[in-house]
């Protein structure tokens, strides 16, 4: 459990953390997947709307009349540690990953490359509807949950605190699985949480939480989840990687081109084979407001990644600077071919 504060952790959270740790030890055996399946390349992801382009790309590729060769199949994971371990071991060769985590792994000589963005924006900092918190200064000494110290949500929180002259040591930070956060807020086990959607919207829709800040308002060029592949896959199956990037980029354009497409995407992603979530919650994310998460601009801009790296260095989640070219391969985005999303 990551807790910069010296304050003791509540017993309920300590017990929950122990149980999560025991479960996490078993999860890699459950979450691992072969790099290839009968449906083609296995691509890992989490059931979060920052990963929404992946179910749409998989669906579009599966129904395409013009597609040839192996396709790709979505594999749901329950957390970033499982995705990380599966990529590191080669059990899967492609996945959506946290951008700072990829930087850290490449610094550790794990042969990975980011080949596309997956989204922009899509994170929120939520507080109880009836709480008196209107500014981040009001959170001094309060309990705030984050998904991981590698999550860009954590960097978002740090940015917002810094704007009011505060430091992360001025609040009490807990790592917590995002699906647990709304219930923890409802039970007053935490005072706020910072995470990606749909876990902010889920509590907001039920009426007991409100956003203190959305990335759409405070950090418009926010990026978090990125399509990451092992270099071995690039070396051995470059056309397959290009096909995947073509469909991811096309899915992003399709999602932002028509509000009806976003509703269709919510219905597709809610299916058991993808996120297995309530479609009403996903539709809420897509509409409230309509740009809560965006997908149309999936350019990989070096200056934005450098900014993310410097924020990660300040947070201590990346230990040393890393050049953009070491962990990003832009050749696939530069060579993107238009793909029709017909779903």
pLDDT, tens only, 69-81? 778 999 999 888 9
Q: Which residues contact 1 (CB under 8 A, 6 or more apart)?
A: 9, 13, 14, 17, 174, 175
Q: How far apart are CA 164 and CA 199, in angstroms?
A: 26
Nearest CA-CA partner of 20 in 104, 88, 80: 80
Is 269:118 a contact under the CB 8 Å cutoff? no
Task: Look up the CATH superfamily of 11-22+123-218.
Answer: Periplasmic binding protein-like II (3.40.190.10)
Token pair listed for 98:
């946290």
Could you give the percent of the chain with pLDDT greater than 90?
Answer: 83
Whether 118 contacts 167, CB under 8 Å:
no
Asked whether 224 and 231 are in contact (CB, 8 A), the reply is no
> Does position 39 have pLDDT exceeding 90, yes or no?
no
* Residue 36 pLDDT: 59
Two tokens, residue 156: 């978002």
Residue 24 has pLDDT above 80, yes or no: no
Secondary-structure class of domain 32-120+224-334 per CATH: alpha beta
Q: Is the pLDDT of residue 29 over 60?
A: no
Q: Is 50 exceeded by the pLDDT of residue 310? A: yes
- Count CB atoms within 10 A of the CB of residue 38: 7
Q: pLDDT at residue 173 above 80?
A: yes
Asked if omega into 133 is within 30° of 0 (cis), the reply is no
The whole-number pLDDT of residue 23 equals 35
Residue 69's pLDDT is: 76
Could you tell me the two tokens for 134? 């209107």
CATH 3.40.190.10 boundaries in the chain: 11-22+123-218, 32-120+224-334
CA distance 200 to 129: 12
pLDDT tens, position by position, 108-142: 999 999 999 999 999 999 999 999 999 999 999 99
Confidence band (pLDDT; 50, 70, 90) for 102? Answer: very high
- pLDDT category of residue 30 using cuts at 50, 70 and 90: very low
pLDDT (mean) for 22-34: 36
The C-alpha atoms of residue 295 and residue 286 are separated, in whole angstroms, by: 11
Radius of gyration in angstroms for the set of CA atoms belonging to the chain, rounded to a whole number: 19
């Amino acid at each position: 459990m990551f807790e910069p504060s010296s304050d003791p952790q509540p017993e309920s959270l300590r017990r929950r953390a122990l149980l999560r740790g025991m479960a996490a030890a078993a999860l890699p055996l459950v979450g691992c997947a072969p790099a290839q399946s009968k449906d083609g390349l296995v691509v890992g992801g989490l059931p979060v709307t920052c990963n929404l382009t992946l179910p749409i790309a998989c669906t579009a590729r599966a129904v395409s009349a013009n597609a040839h060769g192996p396709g790709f199949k979505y594999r749901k994971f329950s957390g970033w540690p499982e995705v990380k371990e599966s990529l590191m071991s080669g059990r899967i060769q492609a996945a959506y990953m946290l951008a700072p985590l990829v930087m850290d792994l490449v610094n550790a000589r794990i042969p990975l490359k980011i080949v596309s963005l997956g989204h922009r924006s899509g994170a929120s900092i939520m507080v109880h509807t009836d709480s008196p918190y209107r500014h981040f200064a009001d959170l001094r000494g309060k309990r705030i949950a984050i998904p991981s110290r590698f999550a860009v949500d954590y960097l978002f929180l740090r940015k917002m605190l810094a704007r009011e002259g505060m430091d992360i040591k001025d609040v009490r930070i807990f790592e917590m699985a995002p699906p647990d956060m709304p219930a923890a807020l409802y039970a007053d086990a935490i005072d706020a949480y910072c995470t990606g959607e749909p876990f902010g919207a889920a509590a907001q829709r039920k009426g007991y939480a409100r956003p203190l800040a959305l990335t759409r308002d405070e950090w418009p060029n926010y990026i978090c989840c990125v399509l990451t592949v092992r270099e071995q896959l690039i070396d051995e199956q470059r056309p397959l990687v290009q096909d995947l990037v073509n469909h991811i980029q096309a899915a992003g354009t399709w999602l932002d081109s028509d509000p009806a497409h976003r509703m269709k995407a919510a219905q597709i992603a809610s299916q058991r084979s993808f996120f297995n979530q309530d479609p009403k919650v996903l539709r809420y994310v897509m509409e409230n407001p309509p740009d809560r998460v965006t997908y149309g601009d999936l350019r990989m801009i070096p200056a934005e990644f450098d900014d993310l790296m410097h924020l990660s260095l300040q947070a201590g989640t990346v230990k040393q600077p890393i050049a953009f070219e070491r962990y990003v391969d832009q050749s696939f985005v530069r060579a993107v071919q238009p793909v029709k999303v017909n779903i």
